[in-house]
Amino acid sequence: MLINCIAYQEGKKLKDISIEEISDYLIIPGCFVWVALLDAELAELEKMREEFNLHELAVEDAWHSHQRPKIEEYGDSVFAVMQLVAMNDDELIIGEVDVFVGTNYVLSVRNRSKEDFLGVRARCEREPNLLSQGSGFVFYALMDAVVDRYFPVLDTLETELENIEEHIFVKGSARSNIERLYQLKRKVMALKHAVAPLMEDAGKLHRGQVPNVCLNTQEYFRDVYDHLSHINGSIDRIRDTIGTAIQVNLSMVTIEESEVTKRLAAWAGLFAIATAFAGVWGMNFENMPELHWKYGYPVALTTIVLVCCILYRRFKKAGWL
């Protein structure tokens, strides 16, 4: 679905144009066309390939989507895949935006995401001096918008981890904490998979052999790289903390099981004493001592109760009961 198709010249918006008019504006000096598509069909991508002379492999990647974040060069053009990450009711939603950038065009194709880029377009149009740098600045603005949306997700994950940490030493909550930690770990890894490859490729846009379309905006891409590096470092710290929290919770499970074992052993000891006395005095031999003693039964019960009370007190003092 076509969202918009607009022609710009010298940093100013000329007009909204139709797809059929794209080729007419591409030949105008100092002019570039910015097209945005949502969940594009193959026929739409083929039309864009014809208008902008896109590389067929890049178009194929955009059609199949579900790609690993990457930035690739095809001659004088750049193809970028970025993942759109958002939180919705504690669920991590992963979308994708594919961006084709040439000297006189920018084509963005958004898939499986409700996160639009209307604010990016408005921001660029408010800064004509920067927009006059052409498609390279638009590419930066789109990437910057994607990266900025990682920060709220990161904050949400950190808050969720802090909430779990508050319940680590709550008795009886160890197993549920482990389940929550593993769920959080999956979310963190999903964000990691979105950030780490993009950070690696974004470094190529401000150092070394920079693509021609990004030559005038190297310092802007360095800022994006710094943001990605900061996010990636925070993700690694969260992963380490999750690993430590899981180990602590496993230890808490072991401690709780040990407490149960000690209680069972203590009660078994009490019953063992009673069983031992009852077993001895319950042996029905004719010549057994105290067999016909008048006070034998109450003395036996008193002895069993007294010994059990002594053991109970010792176990209680030792913390077993």
**Overall domain count for the chain:** 2
Question: What's residue 296's pLDDT?
Answer: 62
Tell me whether residue 77 is in a domain.
Answer: yes
Residue after which a domain boundary falls, among 114, 147, 180: 147
11: in domain: yes
In a domain, 73, yes or no: yes
> What pLDDT score was predicted for residue 88?
84
Nearest-angstrom CA–CA distance, 66 and 260 = 49
Q: How many helices (H) and strands (E) does the chain have?
A: 10, 7
Radius of gyration of the chain measured on its C-alpha atoms: 35
Residue 17 φ/ψ, nearest 5 degrees: -125, 165
Query: How many CB atoms lie under 10 A from the CB of residue 21?
Result: 15
The confidence score (pLDDT) of residue 148 equals 93
What pLDDT, on the 0 to 100 scale, is given for residue 94?
Answer: 92
Burial per residue of 25-43, b for 16 or more beta-carbon CB atoms within 10 angstroms, e otherwise: bbeeeebbbbbbbbebeee
CB-based contacts of 282: which residues, under 8 Å, 6+ apart? none
Listed in order, strand segments (DSSP E) in 60-214 are: 70-74, 77-88, 91-102, 105-111
The pLDDT value recorded for residue 285 is: 47
Q: Give per-residue pLDDT as tens, 153-191.
A: 999 999 999 998 888 878 777 778 888 999 999 999 999
Residue written as token pair 């920079």: 210
Percentage above 70 pLDDT, the chain: 85
In a domain? residue 187: no
Among residues 116, 147, 178, which one ends one of the domains?
Answer: 147
Q: Give the phi and the psi of residue 27 in degrees, each rounded to 5.
A: -90, -5
Q: How far apart are CA 86 and CA 182, in angstroms?
A: 19
Domain-embedded: residue 286: yes
What's the domain range around 283?
254-318
Q: Please indicate, yes or no, if residue 100 is contained in any of the structural domains.
A: yes
pLDDT at 231: 95
Q: What are phi and psi of 121, to 5 degrees?
A: -65, -45
Go through 259-283 and write b for each residue having 16 or more CB atoms within 10 A of its CB, e for each that does not.
eeeeeeebeeebeeeeeebeeebee
* CATH number of domain containing 277: 1.20.58.340
Predicted local distance difference test score (pLDDT) of residue 8: 92
CA 248 to CA 262: how far, in whole Å? 21
Which has the closest alpha carbon to 252: 173, 182, 307? 173
Instruction: Decide if 101 is inside a domain.
Output: yes
Tell which of 147, 171, 206 closes a domain.
Answer: 147
Among candidates 101, 137, 133, which has minimal Cα distance to 30? Answer: 133
Does some domain include residue 110? yes
DSSP β-bridge partners for residue 83? 96
Looking at residue 79, which CATH number applies to its domain?
3.30.460.20
Q: Which residues of the chain have pLDDT under 70?
A: 255, 257-260, 262, 264, 267, 270, 273-274, 276-297, 299-300, 315, 318-321
pLDDT at 190: 93
